[in-house]
């Protein structure tokens, strides 16, 4: 394995080509300098987390009925908001549909009114058209 670091043709000293012992030692010291604080912080974090878990476990057991009740209340409130929002969307859609249908019906009635003779009353043909139009659209 060490052969790949050295030149096979010429047998030079370690200091000219390849890795010297001082480079290895300085690399190890640098690695320890960087990794030691990280390992220390990791250990402290593990110790703090396990301590907090041990302290909070009995409190969680004591107050679990209250926490469960609060969770049910929050879940019910969220469900209520979702149902109210869905109902509002359906209501707005229904009102817009009714307005659109009414606009179409009044437009058709205006056409019949404008196409009728000079008399403002509807004659039989126009009245039959409107009755047929309302009957076909209301069955759908």
% of the chain at pLDDT higher than 90:
34
Rg of the chain over Cα atoms, rounded to whole angstroms, equals: 43
Asked whether 6 and 18 are in contact (CB, 8 A), the reply is yes
Domain ranges, ordered by start, for the chain: 2-139
Q: Give pLDDT, residue 129.
A: 53
Q: Give pLDDT, residue 114.
A: 72
- Residues 87-96 have pLDDT tens digits of 999 999 999 9
Report CA torsion sign: 52, 53, 58, 60. positive
Q: Give pLDDT, residue 136.
A: 54
Answer whether 0.85 is exceeded by the pTM.
no
- List, run by run, the mean pLDDT of 10-residue segments along the chain (140 residues): 53 60 88 90 94 90 87 94 95 92 81 62 52 52
Report CA torsion sign: 117, 121, 122, 124. negative
Asked whether 78 and 70 are in contact (CB, 8 A), the reply is no
Q: What does the DSSP assignment read for 56-116?
A: HHHHHHHHHHHHHHHHHHHHHHHHHHHHHHHHHHHHHHHHHHHHHHHHHHHHHHHHHHHHS
- Residues 5-24 have pLDDT tens digits of 555 555 545 445 678 888 88
């Amino acid at each position: 394995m060490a052969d790949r670091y050295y030149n096979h043709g010429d047998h030079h000293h370690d200091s000219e080509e390849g890795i010297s012992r001082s480079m290895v030692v300085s690399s190890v010291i640098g690695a320890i300098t960087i990794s030691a604080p990280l390992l220390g912080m990791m250990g402290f974090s593990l110790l703090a987390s396990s301590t907090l878990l041990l302290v909070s476990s009995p409190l969680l057991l004591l107050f679990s009925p209250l926490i469960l009740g609060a969770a049910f209340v929050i879940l019910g409130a969220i469900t209520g908001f979702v149902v109210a929002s869905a109902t509002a969307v359906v209501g707005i859609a229904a009102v817009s549909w009714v307005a659109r249908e009414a606009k179409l019906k009044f437009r058709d009635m205006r056409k019949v009114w404008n196409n009728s003779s000079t008399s403002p009353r509807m004659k039989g043909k126009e009245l039959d058209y409107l009755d047929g139009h309302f009957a076909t659209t209301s069955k759908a």
